Amino acid sequence: MSITTIPHFFNGAEHLGTGTDTEGVFNPATGAQTGEVRLASPSDLDQAVAIAKEAAKSWGDVSLAKRTTILFKFRELVAAHVDELAALITAEHGKVLSDAKGEIGRGLEVIEFACGIPQLLKGEYSDQASTGIDVFSYRQPVGVVAGITPFNFPVMVPLWMAPMAIATGNTFILKPSGRVPSAAMLLAKLFKQAGLPDGVFQVLHGNREVVQGLLTHPDIDAISFVGSTPVAKLVHDTGTVHGKRVQALGGAKNHAIILPDADLDNAADHLAAAAFGSAGQRCMAISVAIAVGDAADALVAKVKDRAEAVRVADGTDPDAEMGPVITKAAQQKMRSIVTAAAESGADLVVDGREFTVEGQEEGYWFGPTVIDKVDFDMDAYQEEIFGPVLSVVRAETVEEAIELINSNPYGNGTAIFTSSGANARKFHRGVHVGMIGINVPVPVPVAYHSFGGWKDSLFGDKHIYGPEGVSFYTRAKVITERWPEPKQRTGASYNFPTN
């Protein structure tokens, strides 16, 4: 198989850059290397930032009508290239094609929201705030924005950032994960085809040194990040120290409470989908089920049936429901955590450690796994496994289950399955989590709300996309003005004016 070299995208064109180091790109279903991505040198980074800074001088003054015309065209192009984008995602991430297309669909929703930017940037006006004085406010772009995105959503997460930043008048540099670089390059070409001026959207590939360079570069004004909690905290702290506006979304350990009054078949269906969809490699996956009271044994039996029925195969297989995990290292980490739980007394209800696909034994396979009676001190409970592993713990009451969630350092997403409105209300009011589902296992907000967690799942005070995305990528100006008639002119007061 030939190895494709994936370049950067600078100033409207592919660019190999001056960096000579590369990083391998692999198909997780086969373990075979399919490409190599060029890693940016410090001079490549400086060049990309300089181009973005120059482009920002004019892009911020482009009319809202012209910006939205380009975004509408970009939306059409992304929709027309769903199959091609999905194929790139599946080839490098491993998720099944239907899931890849679903990811793109959620990204399209944010583009559509960004197309309404004229409504969102209208500002406010107060006539006659004081005698002869009017006050008004509006928002302007921050300048040059860098987006650092994870491997698990190669299209959706960049589309959560870039359209919002660009619609509000900023230029944007995308630093995608080196494991899934190709979809980012196609997005860059589609932006170019839509008529976006050169330098407004660029793609820069790189390693930790490039990330550090973006966080400390004096001409980067804002950073959007999605990734693990330790890196999110580092990104926030480093970027903030260097004077940047930062939103850094971190990891998760999402719990779902299942009450005895829930429809257990419905709950088991959705738990399986939430735990094993995308091989569990999403920050909104349900990785812990809290079975309350006498729901536990029946729920575990039903989830076991669903887990054993999941069709795991190459993501290109039309019947596949789950593909491989992203790397051999991730596979080995999952095996270690599950083995340790079993050796410590947990009940291994469904064991996916040795799962493989015939003919693709070198792929990074890990089957759906269910572990019951997990203790709170086990790594299976403490760590974000980021794989198709569902841990089941037990609680006696809904209050105990809520307290269990609140004692966790993460606060990204959570859910409850119940037929009790009173318990659902008690849950959503009492739980310390940013995104909550009631009989909805993966409560990712629609594009006109905002996505983000609490506690160690978010560093910075602004969530991503939606109204908070508009706020993050802009800063407010407030103007107080007076146009006195000559006959009204008087001497200035030395007191603070009030009316």
Q: Which residues are catalytic?
A: 283
Chain-centre distance for alpha carbon 36? 24
Question: If 0-12 CB within 10 Å is exposed, 13-18 middle and 19+ buried, where does residue 406 land?
Answer: middle
Q: Which among 199, 187, 223, 269 has a CA at the least distance from the CA of 440? A: 269
- The Cα–Cα gap between 73 and 78 comes to 9
Question: Strand order of the sheet with strand 124-130?
Answer: 124-130, 133-141, 474-482
Report CA-CA distances (Å) from 295 to 74, 261, 398, 463. Answer: 48, 8, 12, 35
Strands 144-148 and 171-175: parallel
| One-letter-per-residue 3-state SS of 113-131 | HHCCHHHHCCCEEEEEEEC
Chain-centre distance for alpha carbon 448? 15
Instruction: Tell me the two tokens of residue 451.
Output: 């996505």
DSSP sequence for 227-246: S-HHHHHHHHHHHHHTT-EE
Helix, strand, coil shares, percent, the chain, to 5: 40, 25, 35
Q: Which among 267, 255, 276 has a CA at the least distance from the CA of 298? A: 267
- The Cα–Cα gap between 451 and 468 comes to 9
- The Cα–Cα gap between 82 and 463 comes to 27
Strand ranges in 309-464 using DSSP code E only, listed in sequence order: 347-350, 369-372, 389-395, 410-411, 413-417, 435-438, 454-455, 458-459
